[in-house]
Structure 1
Amino acid sequence: MNVHYMESRFGPQGWAYWPEREDLSIEFMRLLGAAQEGGSAVAECCVTAGRIDVSDDNSWYGEWKRLADANHERGNKAFSKGYVLTARGNWLRAINYYQSAALPFDWTDEKYRVAVESMRRCAREYVGHGSPRGEVVSIPWPSGYPLEGYFLPAPDSSRRAPAVICIGEPGQRKEEYLYKVARYARERGIALLAVDLFGAGPDTRFDEVVGRSDLEMTIGCIMDYLVDRDDVDEGRIAIVADGWGSSFVARGIAFDDRFAAAVCDGGLWDLVERTFLRDRLAFPAGGIVGDMGLSRVARNLKCPVLISTGERGWLKAERVRELCDGLKADGRDVTLKIFTSEETAAMQGHADNPTLANEFIFDWIVSRLGMPAQ
């Protein structure tokens, strides 16, 4: 494999398949990491990567879409013969490959739209043929912009079950949670609602929505939907913010006391931004954010919060520890887990080893929801 050492970009343990294209190299690493969860096959990924002309985004698109189409068609053929498990496995990989194909293109590009629509079709097939059967749900949101989600019920449908909401930052798609986290919820008897901000269909007004100043209202709307279901235990609902590149989810839970647990940045990005502002305005230093104190988000966190990150993430590990110490000193119930390069799961979003991170995250959720250890 043509792997190049990349200490300056990825840290002492880092590497890049294409040094001249860091974005595509990171995406390729994500694809390889997804193989552990059934979201790709290593051999397929390596063969496909070997055919790509990295200087041509159309080559990237064409090769990953060809692989996605092959998995999609293989899944359809298996389903037509009654082999549902094989069909779902192929659809799951196709979802991920279509997502990768769209990566270099803007959402207005026809290639992007074609790949995303194919990805959504595979996701609907995957969700609709699970056991128990999942649902594609619509969640009301202000201004006539309904959110779309995939609801995967808990295996035991005889009683109300605990549930977890999985949502990424604006721009992340819910389809990837079908392979990233679904099995961890299912194996622990937890229902899953995977949701994003893209709405329903390729022609949604995402560019208008993402600029809203009240974006955190989304979290309350999603919770409203879940508590109205007769198969969800409204007292045991957790939320997982995937990737946490901002405090979007933390702002949502800070003013909604219905959550039993949350995995998110705990408002750290708000604290970092406040520190930056303090330094730019030459405020005197003192405490973790000078005389500005904790942000409203940090002060209003009510449920237990897990902050899970890697030492090669966007925020330096020592800075994360410092900020978490400030939250604990203020009485917040915060658990911090920093994955090291030696154990892996150390990249942003734990892209290099999502399995290790998800095992820790979902065991923590189980403990906070008062469920027996599995």
Structure 2
Amino acid sequence: MDWISWPQVIDDLASTRRGAATFLEDFDAPYSAACHSEWVVKWTKIGEAHDLVGDANLEKGRIGDAEKAWLCALTAFEVARRMACADAIESEKATAKIEATVRKFGSLDQKIECVPVKCDDQSEMLTYYLSAAGASKAPAVICISTEEEAATTLLGRLLPVAVARGISVLVVAHEDIDSNDHSDMALSCCLDYLSGRSDVDAGRIGVYGDGLSAAVATQFAFSDRRVAAAVCDGGLWDFARMLASTQWLTGTADAPDEKVVSARRSRMIEQFKCPVLVVASSRGTASLSEASKLLSHASAAPIDLQLVMPQTITSRFGEIEDFVTFDERIFGWLEHKLLPNSAL
């Protein structure tokens, strides 16, 4: 793959994201530390170039152009962060650049609000709220970061894909949700907050659990019937734990009776009362094989359940996801389910 002639700055968010997606989809360089380090540097420089363009536009009073440049920078820095997955120091540097750019973007027009959400026990969670563009009563999505990722890291990744849509976003860290004894109660407090906002349609609030938080999103959709759409693991994490527990209690390594397993899958599916997008990913909790079985069962039930899986490249440093295309699919699905006049 020849990226030598690829420009440092493409003055268009859609083009920048297409370039990032193509890079991630076609990445075929040798899996060496030197290779990954080289691409971390190149994508960091691309992000820094966009960042400088944004700063220059801000000085000229061209706020819209500044925001677009910073969104391009966020996409590039996220690519660098993922390429640096095996280098903790480089990964932290990329994360810091993402957080710094998020702060720049949030300083304009109050687009991003830092919101402390109170729980029933009077504890607070610091969340980040992005209001929908040009909408007075818009749907909203509660987005939960994966383990060991800050809310600002997820926000930086989602800003370029969410900012132009008619959907508000409330981002919360997995750590803050998991620190509560009942994560579903904490998320219900987030939903309460959104429902009380004058710019949010309380009847169109969804949830999205990134990575390992997909299981948390499932439990929230089960426990709170106000959830209008869920991007989650479909209950497969708890389902797998239940099967493993059964095998341990019975003292046998034999696979459980398929009829019993099938019946339990059907009962699990019936718990959903809203449209569901099951995410099958190495970063999440649902394997593709189990998710496919769940989808097969759902086809015979009165439930709107779909399956999505990101394209990944496997290296000795782990798997690198095409997060750009993946996020577009997820928010395209959310838009379709929460906005009445949208189309996939």
- 1:90 aligns with 69
SS in 2 for 1:260: strand
Closer, same or farther in 2 for the Cα pair 1:353/1:41, shift >3 Å? same
- Matched residues in 2 for 1:314 and 1:235: separation? 28
Segments of 5+ residues of structure 1 without an aligned counterpart are 4-34, 200-208, 340-344
- Matched residues in 2 for 1:122 and 1:198: separation? 22
**Any idea what the Cα deviations from partners look like across 1:132-154, whole Å, max 9, x if unmatched?**
84433333356845222132234
- Matched residues in 1 for 2:67 and 2:36: separation? 29
Q: Is this contact kept in 2: 1:219–1:253, CA < 8 A?
A: no
Q: Which amino acid letter does the alignment assign opposite residue 223 of structure 1?
A: L
The answer to whether residue 272 in structure 2 is matched with residue 301 in structure 1 is yes
- 2:141 aligns with 164
User: Which of the numbers 98, 109, 116 marks the counterpart of 1:138?
Assistant: 116
Q: Alpha-carbon deviation of 1:163?
A: 1.9
The answer to whether residue 104 in structure 2 is matched with residue 125 in structure 1 is yes
SS in 2 for 1:249: helix
Closer, same or farther in 2 for the Cα pair 1:68/1:180, shift >3 Å? same
Segments of 5+ residues of structure 2 without an aligned counterpart are 4-12, 314-318
Closer, same or farther in 2 for the Cα pair 1:104/1:89, shift >3 Å? farther
Bigger relative contact order, structure 1 or 2 (CA pairs below 8 A, ≥6 apart): 2
Closer, same or farther in 2 for the Cα pair 1:98/1:291, shift >3 Å? closer
Q: Which amino acid letter does the alignment assign opposite residue 129 of structure 1?
A: L
Q: Alpha-carbon deviation of 1:299?
A: 5.5
Q: Alpha-carbon deviation of 1:230?
A: 1.1
- Matched residues in 2 for 1:125 and 1:224: separation? 29
1:257-272 maps to which residues of 2 (within 5 A)?
A: 257-272=225-240
Closer, same or farther in 2 for the Cα pair 1:246/1:284, shift >3 Å? same
Q: Is this contact kept in 2: 1:168–1:241, CA < 8 A?
A: yes
- 2:174 aligns with 197
Q: Alpha-carbon deviation of 1:267?
A: 0.9
Percent identity of the aligned residues? 25
Q: Is this contact kept in 2: 1:140–1:147, CA < 8 A?
A: no
User: Which of the numbers 294, 300, 320 marks the counterpart of 1:323?
Assistant: 294
The answer to whether residue 222 in structure 2 is matched with residue 222 in structure 1 is no
Closer, same or farther in 2 for the Cα pair 1:272/1:122, shift >3 Å? same
Q: Alpha-carbon deviation of 1:177?
A: 0.7
Q: Is this contact kept in 1: 2:218–2:235, CA < 8 A?
A: yes
Q: Which one is further off, 83-92 or 231-240?
A: 83-92
- Matched residues in 2 for 1:285 and 1:64: separation? 48
Q: Alpha-carbon deviation of 1:315?
A: 5.2
Closer, same or farther in 2 for the Cα pair 1:338/1:72, shift >3 Å? closer
Q: Alpha-carbon deviation of 1:260?
A: 1.4
Q: CA RMSD in A?
A: 4.4
Q: Alpha-carbon deviation of 1:248?
A: 1.5
- 2:51 aligns with 72
1:17-56 maps to which residues of 2 (within 5 A)?
A: 38-39=16-17, 41-42=19-20, 54-55=33-34
- Matched residues in 1 for 2:15 and 2:131: separation? 17
SS in 2 for 1:293: helix
Closer, same or farther in 2 for the Cα pair 1:217/1:257, shift >3 Å? same
- Matched residues in 2 for 1:196 and 1:79: separation? 30
- 1:371 aligns with 340
Q: Is this contact kept in 1: 2:214–2:285, CA < 8 A?
A: no
Q: Is this contact kept in 1: 2:47–2:73, CA < 8 A?
A: yes
The answer to whether residue 336 in structure 2 is matched with residue 358 in structure 1 is no
Closer, same or farther in 2 for the Cα pair 1:299/1:198, shift >3 Å? same
**Any idea what the Cα deviations from partners look like across 1:251-306, whole Å, max 9, x if unmatched?**
12211111112122211222233233444543772346649935997563322222
More helix by share: 2
SS in 1 for 2:277: strand
Closer, same or farther in 2 for the Cα pair 1:353/1:97, shift >3 Å? closer
Compute the TM-score of the two structures, normalised by the length of structure 1. 0.65
Closer, same or farther in 2 for the Cα pair 1:295/1:116, shift >3 Å? farther
Compute the TM-score of the two structures, normalised by the length of structure 2. 0.70
